[in-house]
Amino acid sequence: MNHDTYPASLLRGILRRCKTMVMVGASPNWVRPSNFAMKYLQIKGYRIIPVNPARAGEEILGERVYSRLADIPEPFPMVDIYRNAEAAGEIVDEAISLAADKGIEVVWMQLGVRNDAAAARAEAAGLTAVMNRCPKIEYGRFSGELGWGGINTGIITARRQSVI
Amino acid sequence: MADEKDDFGIETRALHAGARPDATTGARSTPIYQTTSYVFEDIDHAASLFNLQTFGYIYSRLTNPTVAVLEERIASLEGGRGSVAAASGHAAQFLAFFSLMEPGDEFVSSRNLYGGSITQFGLSFKRLGWHCHFVDPTDPENFAAAITPKCKAIFIEGLANPGGVIVDIEAVADVARAHDIPLIVDNTLATPFLCRPFEWGADIILHSATKFIGGHGNSLGGLVVESGKFDWFASGKFPGMTEPDPAYHGLTFAETFGDFGYSMKTRAVGLRDFGPSLSPMNAYLLLQGVETLPLRMARHCDNAQAVAEFLEAHPKVDWVSYAGLKSSPYKALAEKYTPRGPGAVFTFGLSGGFDAGVRLVEACELFSHLANVGDTRSLILHPASTTHRQLSDEQRETSGTTPEVVRLSIGIETIDDIIADLDQALDKA
């Protein structure tokens, strides 16, 4: 798959389907981007499960923090990775190995994070891989909220606003 | 879905980008949200908004739904990532630099600029500790030669005011890139219909929307547009973008907002702390103008070409500086950067000098004598006695506003009427 541009339908479909996301690298520090995205997606009705080994057992924004994906005791369709490209590769491999057990469909790497080899492994295992994007920003684009801040959503339509 | 298509033409985007029918009422024209502030859902929502964790409206100094439509529309027309509107072009210019500069920093600018920008850069910016090096823009190497380690940007007017000069945007963008600093292009006189500087490597575009974008001479406004392609981290020269910002609780703008971090900083710090916001009413009027921008610019250019050719053949005219003329040294650059026409603002020189300029301006019946450009109506000005009178003789020489110079902004009246008015006024000049 082309990882420079993604069709709107692909990203919108992921955001409609994956109502539970695991956020690997979620930070309890409110000025960190991961905390921003978690807070926003919670407001929009998503369940966000944080993974952060240094904070395992604590809570971030009301959710229990797990040490690794395998420890999460429930299914989750999407893994959102807030780690550097190298670390992202290992997390993708962990997600591939747990995909059948946890129902994982999507591995998503954050803005600035790109590991093409890991994405290719995920795709070979039947998962969808997204890189260098933020689910908060994409949600904001499809809902039109991004445009409230003067950001170009690229959306042209004469239909009334829907949610996403 | 309609949003799968990503190649809408510029005429379509001039009408639709940023504006969806209102979710509640279905209102088709963009409503004028004439309000200062917006009700919070609860304390947590308010906190999320102030922290920039969620998108939403707080106070119209920062964001306003009518203004946001204009911002997104211009970002779309320029092919940019985001934009921030301001109360005027000059305010936008200040905000654009405020997000880049620290006291003691420097930048390099073309010396062929709107007179007010020469004053802003050379005198008022100096009081903030920002030093501008002015260079002759006709040779891109002049920019490279003037860059110092403290330089944070290169600034040009792509199609320069008061007219006729076209800067080689792509060549200057190469200089900026080689020095890891952004190229800022004022695209006011070309508008995105005639030239899109991001396609030639610019990083930031500025507009005085007061001119052709609004186009009807009724509202001031300005915009800062970001390409989203400048790599702040790789540059390493902009700690205000890449390190925790004390002005926003330690937020790192380029990290948290990625390719629209500069727009967010310009809004959340610049607009918040200095406050030159665009009013919703002006944003609405400017949006009305944008809708017909492609039609108007095409006619402005046709009329300007005809007037330039008329003047070039007139015995009382020494020279005409319009890049659409075969005689112009900028003809090749015009064909490259403005293939639909090099705008409608240009200058010409009267053989009778300063006094002839004054007589000509005073003899016009259809041309309006005023200090603006980019109106639907034809405008005339004698810079040496008005807009550029605060400049030194040397600055007037280098900015192309010597005593015999007359500036025109050609409108969209019937072309025969425009030429007839100039013809009768030239008889008296």
What is the CATH number for B194? 3.40.640.10
**B96 lies in the same domain as B234:** yes
Q: Is B55 close to A148, i.e. CB distance below 8 A?
A: yes
Last residue of a domain, one of B274, B289, B304: B289
What whole-number distance in Å separates Cα of residue A156 and Cα of residue B15? 10
Last residue of a domain, one of B289, B316, B344: B289
Residues near B282 by beta carbon (within 8 Å), at least 6 away in sequence: B87, B219, B220, B221
Per-residue tens of pLDDT for chain B, all 429 residues: 445 677 899 999 999 999 999 888 999 999 999 999 999 999 988 988 888 888 999 999 999 999 999 999 999 999 999 999 999 999 999 999 999 999 999 999 999 998 899 999 999 999 999 999 999 999 999 999 999 999 999 999 999 987 789 999 999 999 999 999 999 999 999 999 999 999 999 999 999 999 999 999 999 999 999 999 999 999 999 999 999 999 888 999 999 899 999 999 999 999 999 999 999 999 999 999 999 999 999 999 999 999 999 999 999 999 999 999 999 999 999 999 999 999 999 999 999 999 999 999 999 999 999 999 999 999 999 988 887 777 788 877 877 788 999 999 999 999 999 999 999 999 999
Which residues on adjacent β-strands are paired with residue B206? B186, B224
Q: Shortest CB distance from B258 goes to which of A112, A145, A158? A: A112
**B331 lies in the same domain as B253:** no
What CATH number did the domain enclosing A114 receive?
3.40.50.720
Place of tokens 């940023």: B18
Give how many domains chain B has, as a whole number.
2
**B211 lies in the same domain as B278:** yes
| Nearest partner of A143 among A20, A11, A35, A5, judged by Cα | A11
Count CB atoms within 10 A of the CB of residue B385.
Answer: 13
Q: Does this complex have an ipTM over 0.90?
A: no
Residue B298 lies in a domain: yes
Q: Cα distance from B67 to chain A (closest Cα, Å)?
A: 8
Q: Is B56 close to A145, i.e. CB distance below 8 A?
A: yes
Residue A3 lies in a domain: no
Beta strands B183-186 and B151-157 are parallel
At CB < 8 Å, which residues of chain A contact B?
7-9, 12, 30-31, 33, 35-36, 39-40, 43, 111-112, 134, 137, 140, 142, 144-162
| Structure confidence at residue A151 (pLDDT) | 95
Residue A160 lies in a domain: no
**B282 lies in the same domain as B358:** no
Identify from A48, A146, A156, A163 which residue to disrupt to test chain B contact, counting B C-beta atoms within 10 A and taking the largest count.
A156
**B188 lies in the same domain as B328:** no
| B8 neighbourhood in chain A, CB within 8 Å | 156
Residue B403 lies in a domain: yes
Last residue of a domain, one of B261, B289, B317: B289
Q: Is residue B161 within 8 Å of B371, Cβ to Cβ?
A: no
Residue A2 lies in a domain: no
**B273 lies in the same domain as B306:** no
| A36 neighbourhood in chain B, CB within 8 Å | 51-53, 256
Residue A163 lies in a domain: no
Is the bond preceding A50 in cis, omega lying within 30 degrees of 0?
no
Q: What are phi and psi of A77, to 5 degrees?
A: -80, -15
Residue B381 lies in a domain: yes
Give how many domains chain A has, as a whole number.
1
What CATH number did the domain enclosing B358 receive?
3.90.1150.10
**B346 lies in the same domain as B278:** no
Domain that holds residue A85: 8-142
Three-state SS for B65? helix
Q: Whole-prediction pTM value?
A: 0.94
Identify from A133, A151, A159, A162 which residue to disrupt to test chain B contact, counting B C-beta atoms within 10 A and taking the largest count.
A151
**B76 lies in the same domain as B222:** yes
| Nearest partner of B229 among B80, B76, B6, judged by Cα | B80
Distances (CA, A) of B412 to B189, B297, B301, B407, B418: 15, 9, 9, 17, 9
Identify from B24, B48, B54, B196 which residue to disrupt to test chain A contact, counting A C-beta atoms within 10 A and taking the largest count.
B54
| A30 neighbourhood in chain B, CB within 8 Å | 51, 53
**B222 lies in the same domain as B325:** no
| A148 neighbourhood in chain B, CB within 8 Å | 55-57, 63, 65, 68
Residue A40 lies in a domain: yes
Q: Is A150 close to B250, i.e. CB distance below 8 A?
A: no
**B82 lies in the same domain as B203:** yes
Domain that holds residue B7: 2-100+182-289
Q: Is B251 close to A31, i.e. CB distance below 8 A?
A: yes
Token pair of B186, please?
């004022």
